């Protein structure tokens, strides 16, 4: 999630543990601890692929963060002398561990069990920025900050925001069921389904086989207006012997390989839609033998392709203008179209 939301969650959790007399101190402590795991963004590794796949690594580990809390415990004791050691430990550890737990609900992938070499966890049931989640926490923290009698507001904000996360998981299951209906040759658990900008109503679905993948986007309240498109990808027999490619496949099974000119490009299908993917990497040039691996032209699955058309156009403008404001404008357009069912 975005840093502001993590600050708010850390503050709310810490304030919920601390006595009322320590609420202001706890809100500040929780804010710092809540953003601490994301300091790994300042670390740079040998390659862009390593930077991408090591983010949300050791600093987000549920196995390591409790140890970090133990290290911080005596350092923070001087500021909380009237609190028991056990309560102070909870005040420290909860903002730390709730950070990666919330991150795991997004699409990026969080290595909750680092250093155990299991693939990152991602539920993709909430978009990385969701004001409908964050504003509850903001209201609760501000109210409690200015009045100790409003401790209940902070507690209520934590409960409501947590229920909202549960709502997202439920609607995600509904979205998978709708996709299985639309594509009866598939099963619901074969789809990757992630929240779009207008979460929790709008969802992005991906189904992948060895030679193609299908992308969809739709509002769960209006699945009949589903936009969909099929793309061709390189089959496993054409995968290069590349450590970077192996690492990306470990990081996310929904990573695909396509040809762009003379280069092989990996695309992470969880983030981005319909040909625009923010996390793409050059894996290898075309094979030295000069042999071409034929790829068919992209084909459209539905005539109602408002989102596919606008995404493709916006992606071209975004790439051509090098981060100029066209892409944010597109995201706003996507938000409105999704809420209105594409009308």
Number of helices (H), then strands (E), belonging to the chain: the values are 10, 8
Neighbour-count burial of 37, counting CB atoms closer than 10 A to its CB (0-12 exposed, 13-18 middle, 19+ buried): buried
Could you tell me the pLDDT band of residue 278, with boundaries at 50, 70 and 90?
A: confident
pLDDT of residue 223: 85
pLDDT at 341: 53
Q: Is the pLDDT of residue 304 over 70?
A: no
Q: Is 246 left (phi over 0), alpha (psi -120 to 50) or beta?
A: alpha
Give residue-wise pLDDT tens across range 189-205. Answer: 999 999 987 668 899 99
pLDDT given at position 76 = 97
Residue 244 CA to residue 250 CA, distance in Å, equals: 10
For the chain, the structural domain boundaries read 3-168, 201-339
Give mean pLDDT, residues 220-236.
87
Contact 9, 29 (CB under 8 A): no
Confidence of residue 122 (pLDDT cuts 50, 70, 90): very high
The arithmetic mean of pLDDT across residues 253-264, rounded, is 85
**What percent of the chain clears pLDDT 90, i.e. is strictly above it?**
61
So what's the pLDDT on residue 339? 57
Identify the band that residue 336 occupies on the pLDDT scale cut at 50, 70 and 90.
Answer: low
- The predicted structure's pLDDT at residue 114: 96
Q: And the tokens for 41? A: 């963004």
- Residues 134-182 pLDDT 10s: 999 999 999 999 999 999 999 999 999 999 999 999 999 999 999 999 9
Please say whether the beta carbons of 127 and 193 come within 8 A: no
Per-residue pLDDT at 271: 86
Q: What is the pLDDT of residue 306?
A: 30
List 268's β-bridge partners, or say none: 255
pLDDT at 199: 67
Residue 36 to residue 147: CA distance in whole angstroms: 27
What is the pLDDT at residue 276? 81
Distance separating alpha carbons of residues 319 and 299, to the nearest angstrom: 22
What are the residues whose beta carbons fall under 8 Å from the beta carbon of 291, sequence distance 6 or more? Answer: none
Confidence of residue 111 (pLDDT cuts 50, 70, 90): very high
Residue 310, both tokens: 């606008």
What local confidence, expressed as pLDDT, does residue 198 receive? 62
Positive or negative CA dihedral for 269, 275, 279, 282? Answer: positive
What pLDDT does 188 receive? Answer: 93
E-assigned strand segments in the chain: 192-195, 202-208, 212-219, 222-232, 255-260, 263-268, 280-285, 299-300
**Residues pairing with 195 in the sheet:** 203
Rounded average pLDDT over 266-291: 74
- Is pLDDT at 30 greater than 90 in this prediction? yes
- Under DSSP, the state recorded for 211 is S
pTM here is: 0.83
Nearest to 201 by CA among 164, 171, 165: 171
Query: Degrees (nearest 5) of the Cα angle 228, 226, 209?
Result: 35
Q: Is the pLDDT of residue 297 over 80?
A: no
For residue 253, the model assigns a pLDDT of 87
């Amino acid at each position: 999630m975005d840093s502001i939301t993590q600050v708010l969650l850390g503050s709310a959790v810490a304030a919920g543990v601390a006595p009322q007399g320590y609420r202001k101190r706890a809100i500040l402590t929780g804010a710092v601890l809540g953003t601490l795991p994301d300091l790994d963004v300042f670390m740079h590794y040998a390659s862009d692929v390593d930077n991408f796949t090591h983010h949300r690594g050791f600093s987000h580990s549920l196995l390591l963060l409790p140890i970090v809390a133990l290290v911080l415990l005596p350092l923070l004791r001087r500021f909380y002398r009237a609190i028991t050691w056990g309560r102070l430990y909870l005040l420290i550890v909860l903002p730390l561990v709730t950070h990666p737990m919330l991150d795991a609900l997004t699409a990026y992938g969080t290595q909750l069990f680092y250093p155990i070499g299991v693939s990152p966890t991602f539920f993709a049931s909430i978009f990385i920025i969701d004001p409908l989640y964050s504003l509850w926490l903001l209201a609760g923290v501000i109210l409690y900050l200015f009045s100790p009698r409003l401790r209940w507001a902070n507690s209520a904000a934590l409960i409501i925001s947590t229920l909202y996360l549960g709502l997202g998981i439920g609607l995600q299951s509904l979205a998978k069921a709708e996709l299985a209906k639309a594509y009866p040759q598939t099963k619901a658990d074969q789809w990757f389904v992630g929240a779009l900008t207008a979460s929790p109503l709008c969802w992005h679905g991906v189904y992948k086989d060895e030679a193609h993948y299908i992308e969809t986007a739709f509002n769960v309240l209006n699945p009949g207006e589903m936009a969909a498109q099929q793309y061709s990808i390189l089959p496993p027999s054409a995968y290069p012997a590349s450590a970077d490619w192996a690492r990306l496949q470990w990081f996310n099974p929904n990573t695909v390989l396509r040809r762009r000119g003379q280069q092989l490009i990996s695309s992470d299908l969880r983030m981005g839609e319909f040909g625009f993917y923010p996390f793409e990497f050059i894996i290898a040039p075309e094979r030295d033998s000069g042999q071409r691996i034929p790829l068919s032209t992209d084909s459209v699955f539905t005539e109602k392709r408002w989102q596919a058309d606008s995404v493709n156009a916006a992606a071209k403008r975004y790439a051509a203008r090098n981060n100029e404001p066209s892409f944010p404008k597109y995201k706003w357009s996507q938000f409105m179209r999704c809420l209105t069912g594409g009308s």
